[in-house]
Amino acid sequence: MDWTHLTTVSDQLNAELLVQALRDENIEAVINAGDTAGFLGVTPNPCRVMVVDDRWSEAIALLEEWERDEQPVAMQDIPDGEIT
């Protein structure tokens, strides 16, 4: 299986969110192993998201939609009872 670079995101948390969104659409995706630092926890450094070669065009379409729809959640948007 060959992997292709899809995009580089700002940090590991955003990379994890994107990878899950891709997997939800049955597109195999991973974070480039060299970009994470598991023994230190989650890295704040940029991470490359990789997808299987033959699904790249579908992945780029999903990425464009994801970037267009993504809106950060502000603390004031979270109901008081949901903060733990």
Q: What's the pLDDT tens digit per position in 25-80?
A: 999 999 986 766 666 667 778 889 999 999 999 999 999 888 887 655 444 555 55
Q: Which domains does the chain have, with CATH numbers?
A: 3-68 (3.30.70)
Classify residue 18 as exposed, middle or buried by CB count within 10 Å of its CB (0-12, 13-18, 19+).
buried
Instruction: Please tell me the predicted confidence (pLDDT) of residue 7.
Output: 93
CA distance 45 to 29: 19
Q: What's residue 38's pLDDT?
A: 61
pTM of the model: 0.74
pLDDT at 83 over 60: no
Judged on CB neighbours under 10 Å (0-12, 13-18, 19+), 21 is middle
Antiparallel, parallel or unpaired: β 3-9 and 29-31: unpaired
Q: Supply the pLDDT for residue 53.
A: 94
d(CA 56, CA 70): 20
